[in-house]
Amino acid sequence: MLKILIVDDEPLVRKLIRYCIPWEEYGLTVAAEASGADEGMEMVREVNPDVVFTDIMMPTTNGLEFTKMIGEYNPEIRVILVSGYDEFEYASTGIKLKVFDYILKPIDREILKKIAENVREDILKERLRETEFEKIKEELSVNAKYIIEKAFYALLIEEDWQNALRSEER
């Protein structure tokens, strides 16, 4: 199961996100909640979530700054911004911070389901790519000596062929 962290200063919004959809059906589970960015970063370090839902407008540290902190700590964590404001500036800043998605309050259940599907699929694809890359690296390290010998042999044959041509020209 992929882990979710919900960060919002409004307890009702946290509950809504937690209970709005059956996360387990999407391969996700709500691992923790936090009421602000400071507590949220503690939870990020403690729980190591795969996905963070965070409000943009929170006291002390806003969601965009929190997103930046998350990205510096672990850029693999997918962040979904939650906002009551449909302003381009927030979305634009979110794009620059590589936010996975942006959802408006009031939260629509169907949109939340679609985001759950998309974020799960994105994470699983990324992990599959990483696994395949590791397999290729392992195969390369196992076969590196053979590959180097073959390349060296090819260079020697090429060199011998070029030397033979030079001697015929004389």
pLDDT digits (tens, 9 = 90+) for 136-170: 888 877 777 777 777 767 666 665 555 544 555 55
Q: What percent of the chain has pLDDT over 70?
A: 84
Residue 68 CA to chain centroid, in angstroms?
A: 14
pLDDT > 80? residue 112:
yes
Distant-in-sequence, close-in-space partners of 7: CB < 8 Å, separation ≥ 6: 33, 34, 35, 36, 37, 39, 40, 43, 52, 53, 54, 55, 58, 63, 66
Phi, psi of 4, deg, nearest 5: -115, 140
Distant-in-sequence, close-in-space partners of 91: CB < 8 Å, separation ≥ 6: 102
CA-angle at 15, arms to 14 and 16, nearest 5°: 90
Question: What is the pLDDT, as a whole number, of residue 96?
Answer: 74
Task: Provide the token pair at 136.
Answer: 């290729």
- Bridge partners of 7? 34, 54
